[in-house]
Amino acid sequence: MPQPPQIVDSHCHLDFPDFADELPEIVARAQTAGVGRMLTICTSLPSEPDVRAIAERFPAVFYAVATHPMSVEKEQMASLDALLKIARHPKMVGIGETGLDYHYSADSAPLQRQSLLIHIEAARQTGLPLIIHARDADDDMARILRDEHTAGSFTCVMHCFSSSAALAEAAINLGFYLSMSGIATFKNSQQVRDIFATCPLDRVLVETDAPYLAPPPHRGRRKSRPIPR
């Protein structure tokens, strides 16, 4: 029987309580299905030890760290020194998810932009990819990424991409990657499908964003904790 192709889940949240009672089984099922590696995302620096422990426990799991843009108002802002220190761990492979969310957290936009710049500098200095969350902030996101890339290059993944064609074009022109999630399967996501249909294949990643965004007919089967996507 032919083996399934090996893929990487470039963005999931294995530390969330949704998975606490069956984490070994989840990782095993993913590997059986052909998911050779998983990147579990830490959205809060205080959670980093727990996320790191998951990556250390499972050979197929790696991790990334940042302060989520929706958390910057209620958490101490991540410092460059803290990010650089964490990045020394051999299984820490990304800076994120960071970014801008004006849909749920527009009031904290100035703090989000300040936090994003710190994470961009961490990506520059470490050479690790920046992992970007962007929602209803396309103009600011495109401007900041262009300006900062001109000031000093870095690599970047546009996580769970569901923004405009203009932001997709800006990202691709900078040499960045677009990550496709279950959103591309939703009925009202034709624009997202059109963007990925024209995106160079070597600039497309895939992700589950688990426990979020399961595609039909599985959509909504797992409950998620309240960081909306």
| CATH fold for domain 7-206 | TIM Barrel (3.20.20)
Instruction: Evaluate if pTM is beyond 0.75.
Output: yes
The tens digit of pLDDT for each residue in 87-116 reads 999 999 999 999 999 999 999 999 999 999
- Which two structure tokens, joined as six digits, stand for 175? 């040499």
Pick the residue with more confidence: 219 or 28? 28
pLDDT at 226 over 50: no
Question: Which whole-number Å values give the CA distances from 181 to 55, 142, 161, 211, 217, in the listed order?
Answer: 22, 21, 7, 12, 15
Identify which of 159, 224, 207, 171 has the alpha carbon closest to the alpha carbon of residue 8.
207
Judged against a pLDDT cut of 50, whether residue 224 lies above it is answered with no
Residue 203 φ/ψ, nearest 5 degrees: -115, 15
Cα torsion 156, 161, 163, 168: sign = positive
Give the tens place of pLDDT for each residue, 5-46: 789 999 999 999 889 889 999 999 999 989 999 999 999 999
Q: What are the DSSP E strand ranges found in 56-176?
A: 61-65, 92-101, 130-135, 156-158
Residue 220 tokens read as: 């909504």
pLDDT in tens, 108-122: 999 999 999 999 999
